[in-house]
Amino acid sequence: MINDKYYRRRYVISGIAIAVVLVYIIRLFYLQIIDQSTRDQADNNALVKQTIYPSRGLIYDRNGELLVFNQPIYEVTLTMRDMGKEWDTLAFCQCMQISREEFDARIEDIKDRKKNRGYSRWTPQVFMSQLKKEDVATLQESIFLFPGVQIQKRTLRDYTYNAAAHVLGSVGEVSQNDIDRDDYYTRGDYSGRDGLERTYEKQLRGEKGMKVLMRDVRGRIQGSYQDGARDVTAKAGTDLYITLDIQLQLLAEELLAGKIGSAVAIEPKTGEILALASNPSWNPKVLVGKERSKNYNLLLKDPTKPLMNRATQATYPPGSTFKTVQSLVCLEQGAITPNTLYPCSGPGSTPIKCTHHHGSPVALDRAIEQSCNPYFWCAFRDLLQKDGYGKNNEDFRHRYELWRDAVMSFGLGQRFADSDISEQSSGSIPSTKLFDKFYGKTGWKAITIRSLSIGQGEILVTPMQLANQAATIANEGYYISPHLNKNDSMLTHRHELAIEKKHFEVVKEGMRRVMIYGTGRHFAVDSLHMAGKTGTVQNPHGRDHAIFIGFAPVEDPQIAVAVVVENAGFGATWACPIASMMMEQYLTGEVKRTDLRKRIGSTVLNESVKKW
């Protein structure tokens, strides 16, 4: 009879053997099927995976004019694992026209895992980038002498026009933060750094491809692996059509030359931005290629701040251009009617004086025409102090907040959150909390904040907000958020004002009279039926700023414009003619007033301004 003790042990030993075999099978399955690391390591011995970079999407203006395109460049990569002991460093340096010290410094940077977290001896690492064809010609002829070296074709941006730098933006090398946020990028890749290049980066960049090459035991490339079966085709980025009219943009930048300021034009019915000019500016080409970093630092240090997009980031009191908004809010809230009359004593008026004598009393349309300060102070006072003259009580505070909400409904004092323009300032329409902080809860009343009535004091707006204000008046009560992507319909982004349409008639008539009898009359084009409002904004840091808003034609507005020229004095002298010529260019296709164009464009108001 079999000994039960040894008989049972047989099952234990068999179980252990089976378990060991199963462990080996599972481990082999994991290594060969699930875990790709060992396969990748083996593949790296025999295969070379070469990234194929897609062409970046092109950018066109609203009329199909090509603005941004690509030019070929090259980069040299090294795979450290393939660089044997006999690798001729000095010969390589001669081919690349660099010193041995520069070579060693670049290799050290590549191997520094703090600077290059994706470093691997098995994968190509960028050694030099943004090289022209002639820079790699010598290396191309003798590349067989340098195992592990590849020449990779890439593209850089180029520009048809020296214009619209703030709008278009630039492309630069990605940072480590970019790589950490998006696994699309690796060291040495490029992405949009600002402007439209950044906003539409994912659309413009396309999708990378990959070419798999096979090499022999000596590391020499033998051709495509499996006849290209594992290759992935790169997909070019999607082209971008934008709302700018490049000819209008060029004119705006020409007229702003030698000045600090901005000009914005919008198509009222759609919110499409026709021009977005900021000066000082730069040639977009200076932020391309090897010189990008050096030129960017020079721009950054320029005291005139060319990198600031003044059209969307600079803020100013709106001055007399705000009287159009004040009129509409006061009409809607019942403080005045179109026939309400207020007296004016010219420069002798108190507590706010008028800048000139124009007769008294005046109704609303003529008050807009003549920019009568006392009229708008009286209207603002009567709105806030109705049934409680001179008192700061709950009714007064409520009326102020209603006034503020109505003003902000024009898009003033806040970012356009649904716009594709990322570089925006919000501006400010002051709240009761702000005045409570300054004066105490009951320490202020209408006369304390009287400067708000004429667009001065604590009100701050951007030029783009001013252009949108003009578009809102042109539309008689609504606006579409200003935007730059022509292909992305924004018509659903419609913002309605709580102001009856009937109130816009008298305000538009007043603005029309500005261009016939008022401060804009010298620069009107009669056949275009322009409406506008000039502003001369007090500036505590120097000479007044010149401002203008307007639209044309009055009966069917096609363009709304805002222009700000810093430290230029009267709005009628500088801002108005620039806006007038922009409207003429857009509506007729040319500026016939060539003498005016030459005079404005050639006049330097700020000697420190230069075109990069």
Amino acid identity of 604? V
Q: Is the pLDDT of residue 225 over 80?
A: no
Residue 412 pLDDT class (50, 70, 90 cuts): very high
Max mean pLDDT range (42-46, 117-121, 205-209, 327-331): 327-331
Order of strands across the sheet that contains 559-565: 272-279, 261-267, 559-565, 545-552, 531-537
Average pLDDT value for residue range 184-204: 91
Superfamily of domain 246-295+308-602: DD-peptidase/beta-lactamase superfamily (3.40.710.10)
Q: Please give the CATH topology (third level) of the domain spanning 48-241.
A: Penicillin-binding protein 2a (Domain 2) (3.90.1310)
Q: Which two tokens stand for residue 541?
A: 């840091």
The predicted structure's pLDDT at residue 1 = 47
Q: What are 71-97's pLDDT values in tens digits?
A: 988 888 888 888 877 788 899 999 888
Q: What percent of the chain has pLDDT over 90?
A: 61
Average pLDDT value for residue range 218-228: 64
Average pLDDT value for residue range 51-78: 92
Whole-number Å distance between alpha carbons of 339 and 547: 28
Provide the residue ranges of all domains of the chain, joining segments of one domain with +.
48-241, 246-295+308-602
Domain 48-241 matches domain 246-295+308-602 at the CATH topology level: no
Answer for the pair 276, 267: CB distance below 8 angstroms, yes or no. no
The predicted structure's pLDDT at residue 219 = 55
Average pLDDT value for residue range 535-548: 87
- Which of 142-146, 237-241, 438-442 is the least confident region? 142-146
Angle between helix axes 504-514 and 463-474 (nearest 10 degrees) is 120
Whole-number Å distance between alpha carbons of 277 and 575: 13
**Pick from 276, 20, 91, 85: nearest CA to 165:** 276
Higher pLDDT, 493 or 429: 429
Three-class SS of 333-367: CCCCCCCCCECCCHHHCCCCCCCCCCCCCECHHHH
Q: Which two tokens stand for residue 592?
A: 């016939």
The predicted structure's pLDDT at residue 472 = 98
Q: Which two tokens stand for residue 114?
A: 């703090």
Instruction: Please state, rounded to an integer, the average pLDDT across all residues of the chain.
Output: 89
Whole-number Å distance between alpha carbons of 358 and 368: 12
Whole-number Å distance between alpha carbons of 97 and 367: 72
Higher pLDDT, 212 or 67: 67
Q: Is the pLDDT of residue 330 over 70?
A: yes
Whole-number Å distance between alpha carbons of 317 and 210: 55
Answer for the pair 413, 361: CB distance below 8 angstroms, yes or no. no
pTM of structure? 0.86
Q: What are 95-121's pLDDT values in tens digits?
A: 888 899 999 998 888 888 877 777 778
Q: What are 147-181's pLDDT values in tens digits?
A: 888 888 888 899 999 999 999 999 988 888 898 89
Average pLDDT value for residue range 496-502: 94
**C-alpha R_g of the chain:** 33
Q: What are 370-388's pLDDT values in tens digits?
A: 999 999 999 999 999 876 6
Higher pLDDT, 56 or 173: 56
The predicted structure's pLDDT at residue 53 = 87
* Distance (Å) of CA 20 to CA 12, 15, 17, 121: 12, 9, 5, 36
Q: What are phi and psi of 461, to 5 degrees?
A: -140, 160
436 CB contacts (<8 Å, ≥6 apart)? 444
The predicted structure's pLDDT at residue 41 = 47
Q: Which two tokens stand for residue 336?
A: 């005045």
**Pick from 402, 465, 468: nearest CA to 431:** 402
H or E segment to which residue 292 belongs: helix 292-301
> How many helices and strands, by DSSP H and E, does the chain display?
20, 17
Whole-number Å distance between alpha carbons of 190 and 451: 49
The predicted structure's pLDDT at residue 611 = 73
